[in-house]
Chains A and B, each alone.
Chain A
Amino acid sequence: MRLRSYASIAAGILLPLTLACSGSSSSSTTAPSKPAKTLTYTDPAGTGWRLVKDASSTSTRIVLDLVGPSGTKTRGVGFNLQAEPKAKFGTFANGLPINDTGVYQLLSAAADPNEPIALVGGVKPGNVLSVGIYQKDRAQPAQDSGAPLCQIAVELDPSKGLESGDHLALSVVKAKVIPEDIGSASDDLYTLNQKMRMADITIATGSLSAK
């Protein structure tokens, strides 16, 4: 914070001088911006559903782990994350903006490495990241949500005009999980219809800033 103030002051002194040379008498011009070079992320408080910074993050790429409450078993999670337009969602080696951490079993029990997995992600209009990761085989057990379940990434994009000191608001506007009890294939359709419903959750986000 102190460094930022200092830099703004220094720029503010120079600018009026330059403007005075061009004949302006104004002295209220704002300080010039400084392009951001790094990103920082502060984890949210609490032990519920939250996005926390992963150790693999770098100064220009923040990798966020989705972590749930320990002891709560789920079969998958999906959420929509609204971000400032200047925030750029990054991708992983799989080409998607979501990365599997290996908790959920994305293949069926008779695993075929070529079979499609229930992992999807994209960016909707308005810079809304929409990602989901789910177990496909309903016969497999639900997993404890207390570990990182998946990852997303936010990157510094010089082309977006991000300035040092900018705060990039993040908010999860929609989030649901597949609960542990989704019924059995042997249940009647009424029972299945009651149980096969995703549950709403709230995901806390931390503070993302540029420097």
Chain B
Amino acid sequence: MKIHEYQAKLILDEYNVPTPKGHVARSVQEAVQAAEDIGSWPVVVKAQVHAGGRGKAGGVKLAKSIDEVKSAAETILGLVIKGIKVRQLLVEPGIDIKTEIYLGIILDRASKGPVIMASREGGVEIEEVAKETPEKILKLKVPPTIGLRGYHCNVVAEFLEIPADARKPFAAVLKGLVQAFLDKDCSLAEINPLVLTGSGHVIACDAKMNFDDNALPWHQEIEALRDDGEDEPLEVEAREKKLNYVKLDGEIGCIVNGAGLAMCTMDVVKHFGGRPANFLDIGGGAKASQVADALKLITSDKTVNTIFFNVFGGIVRCDMVASGILSALESLPGFDYPIVIRLSGTNEEQAKKLLENAPVHLAKNMEEGAQMAVKISKERASA
């Protein structure tokens, strides 16, 4: 799960990481009010949106007067960054920047523990630094058995050439960031840039935190920060119905049991020249109500013209899935999308009997099913 910069900064506050004292604004008027409350110039007006590359997209502007705040707020509130409309702003006092540092914590899958990433190339996209000049990034593993120690902070400060007077506050920031990462079950915690000011202060001018979805049941305080307005509406609806759904932009709606098979189904559809409309894992049960929810969800995407069910019956019997599909169709009168069904595995024959007279196309395996769905979808598109 992702949260906004201003929310991440509130979490950093709890861990004694200094941040600029900003205000959230949802309109030009609120932005002006925020700038007046700050009472000093310049201020920074920043888009709050769950997408990277805000700076490049024009989502961050410096303002030196009320007029400039107005025009910055108007411009930014009209932006769409990577497909997401900007609805909120953060207005903050400008900071006297001497040095910009990148500081991030990720969970490294290879070493199975947190890794600190640090670079003096702060304020730019770290992926680019990693690609162009990887030697400018320090990657330091935090041993999960002993945690972050003083000497780790020193090693990082040394690499970043932090001046002597800023080392103590820098170590406090690093410790706070690592602790927040662990306490809040983050998958990413990033400060870019961490600013060293002319007066020896260390301030987190930006903050980004992503969380492990598996840990959210233990973190009501994080769940409360969820902003559904940033997500694809169909994905929000799917989440409410406990369906695992990701929207793509094709015509063939895929309903599959199991995440790996669902990904594979999309690939096979593409392989045969079609375009998958979505990833959807209905899990093991495939109950009628769930199938009906999945059908409704998929067909509310108006690009979809064909449905492809791909189910491998293991413990879940194919005949149960077949009856689930039939009762779902009964509960959706007027549902007129062509449906291709592939059911293999346990009780496959009984399932085929059940579906014999149903208005569906039966396929004997995944590859045949994908080819049928692609053919039907193309006919519908040209009709």
B and A form one assembly = no
